[in-house]
Structure formats: structure tokens, C-alpha cells
Copies of this chain bind each other. A is one copy, B any other.
Amino acid sequence: MPDTSIDSDRRGRLLDTALAVFARYGFRKTSMEEVARAADISRQGLYLHFRDKEALFRAAIGRMLETGVAAVDAELARDAPIGPRLYGAMKAWYGRSVGTPAQNADELFARSVALLGDVMERSGAEVARKLEASIAASPLAARLAERGLSPADAALTLEACGLGLKHAGLTREAFKARLAAAVSLAVGAPVRPV
């Protein structure tokens, strides 16, 4: 659902740079002028594609969520054991902003929630469901069932781990190590932090 007809590659790159600028300065302190400059476009060109600043921001965050979910799908669809697939998917989703200090993270997050909190929640829930589905479709489901645990239990627990690790303020390496440990525990076999 693009705001106007524009070839999707260009739009994608535009939104990516816009998101980068927003992430750097926060929503409030980012000017359309600055986004335009970063995207090598005129400020007026920006308004040609997006009604206003909010619409641009919503589109940028929306794209981030979409590409994130797509990355999760790709990781889960790989030809590999369930452990590495879960690890890859969670690294892609929860590890996105890990290792990026991001001074304006609060303002940015608050604004995101205000403008599209429902979408964010849905994306989070969608990822959790995808994890659950992959677990349910793998041999792991049977092993969990033996111990009286459902794929949903495992998926929700992994979700909690992912969120916890996300804002634990770890380095990227530490994040990967702990994520691997978490997935290992869920899967019941060691998973390497890649």
C-alpha cells in the first residue's frame, strides 16, 4: 500500500535512509529537510510521496517491521535443524538494534508506540506465532510433549528471552552467546552462536 505509485526499490531505499535518520536523532529532532538531504531528494519530493512527517515515519517503521518479519520467515525456512533456525530468526528479530547505544531510543520508541503500537504488537505476536509454528512442525514438538510442554510454551518463553536480551544492554557478542544458550535450552541441544 504505497502512498503513491513509485518503484518499490527506490521507496525501500528512501525509507531505509529515513529510518536511519530518525534512529539517529529521534522523531522530534529530525527535520524533513534532513531526511531529504540524506536521501538525495528535495524536501518537496518527500511531500510528494508522504502526506506529512508522521506518514513518513509510520512508513519507515512499518517497513522495518515488514523486513524484520520477512527475515524471520527466511531464517525459519532454511534447510537446517530447528535449533539454528530458531536462533537465526530470533537474532534477526530481537537483535536488530543490539549493540547500537542509540541515545534517543526512548523518544523514538514512545513515538512508534503512539503512532503504530498496534502494528508493533501484531508484528511481535506474529513472530512469536511463527516460532511456535516452526517448533510445532519439527521433531522438537514431540520431545516437548513428552515432558508435558506445548510448542506455545516454548515459543512464548523464547519471546520473553528475546525481549529480555534485547534491552539488557549487552554487546552484540554477549547477546548472541546468551541467545544461543536460550535456544539450546529450549531445543535441548547445543546451538552455536553464529
A149 is an interface residue with CB less than 8 A from chain B: yes
The minimal Cβ–Cβ distance linking A14 to chain B, given in whole angstroms, is 33
A190 is an interface residue with CB less than 8 A from chain B: yes
Q: Which of A152-167 contact B (CB under 8 A)?
A: 153-154, 156-157, 159-167
Is chain A's binding surface mostly helix, strand, loop or mixed?
helix
The chain B residue sitting closest to A186, CB to CB, is: B185
Judging by beta carbons under 8 Å apart, are B190 and A148 in contact?
Answer: yes
A189 is an interface residue with CB less than 8 A from chain B: yes
Judging by beta carbons under 8 Å apart, are A181 and B156 in contact?
Answer: yes
Interface centre among A148, A153, A164, A186, by most chain B C-beta atoms within 10 angstroms, is A164
A190 to B148, CA, bound (A): 6
Judging by beta carbons under 8 Å apart, are A181 and B153 in contact?
Answer: yes
A10 is an interface residue with CB less than 8 A from chain B: no
A182 to B149, CA, bound (A): 10
The chain B residue sitting closest to A153, CB to CB, is: B181
**Supplied contacts A160-B182, A164-B166, A188-B188, 17 more A-B pairs, CB within 8 Å:** A106-B106, A147-B188, A148-B184, A148-B190, A149-B184, A149-B185, A153-B181, A154-B181, A157-B161, A159-B164, A160-B161, A160-B164, A160-B165, A160-B168, A161-B164, A163-B167, A164-B164
